Amino acid sequence: MIEELKELDTLEILENVDLKNYTTFKVSCIAKYFATPKNIEELCFLLDILQQKKMRYKVLGKGSNVVFVNPSFDGVIISLEHFGKMKIEENLITVGAGYSLMKLSFDMASKGYSGLEFASGIPGSVGGSLVNNAGAYKKEIADVVETAKVLMPNQEIKEFTKDELEFCYRSSFLQYKNDYICLEVTFNLEKKDSKEIMELIKTRREKRMDTQPLEYPSAGSVFRNPELESAWKYIDALGFKGKRMGGAEVSRKHANFIINRGNATGHDIKCLILEIKEVVKNAYNIELICEQEFVE
């Protein structure tokens, strides 16, 4: 397979890559292969060969909501880090799926575009954030999306409208289509005073520093908020703050954060998440929904 892929001189394929630096949990997992296609043609070429060889693959954004449970991944990780171009046409901003959502938030603020202030603390990629309808401060990606270009399983590129993406709380149609790959997203933003936007972002960052354990690797909020109350309140009430499973710990600062104390494994994190789910279910008859994806 590697020999066939080398037919494309520019396609970079690395072997035995530790994914520790490609996920926000900073958990070690050795990927057999790690590919970084530079354009759609290379991506399609890669997918063709993987499908012919029936080889497992996983498309990875910034790794902010992914937990690799096992110490190794016997397949190909496809990074879209080179899919990061931007085009601005009046209020419509089209951005590649690999672009950092946090960086986009700051870039737009500096140019006087409002609508992505809520995303200044979300460490995901544009593509991953679209798939999961990332949000904060009662705002979400769905509020500002115009369209998204997606690579279909037959390698046709289709443009989806906001309605066709079927957004709901922390979810979209694409979340259930693992063989659909987001390539780029077009946002509809509003022109405002840049200084006002940056001041709002600064204020929110200061609040996050006070209330969230940003000094430790994590994936942000672990569970979606149920209808009646914030997830952290149930977890806190049950005494989970400081609870450890191996190197994974429920933050003492924010009960809906699980942090890596330095040597956590994906298995540690998964076990701790499942224990919290079970205890909350038994105590309150509430089924907490995990925002993280377990890759085994």
- Residues with a catalytic annotation lie at 170, 221, 291
Residue 36: which of 56, 70, 61 has the closest Cα?
Answer: 61
What is the rounded (10 degree) CA torsion for 104, 150, 165, 163?
A: 90
- C-alpha to C-alpha distance for 260 and 57, rounded to whole angstroms: 26
β 86-89/92-96 pair status: antiparallel
**Amino acid found at 11:** L
3-state secondary structure of 262: coil
β 92-96/66-68 pair status: unpaired
**Tokens representing 140?**
């979400």
**Tokens representing 100?**
């950092």
**Amino acid found at 53:** K
User: 75: which residues sit within 8 A by CB, 6+ positions away?
Assistant: 31, 32, 33, 55, 56, 57, 58
**Tokens representing 79?**
């990074």
Contact status, residue 77 vs residue 34, Cβ threshold 8 Å: yes
β 139-140/135-136 pair status: antiparallel
Cβ of 179: how many Cβ atoms within 10 Å? 12
Residue 47: which of 59, 62, 63 has the closest Cα?
Answer: 59
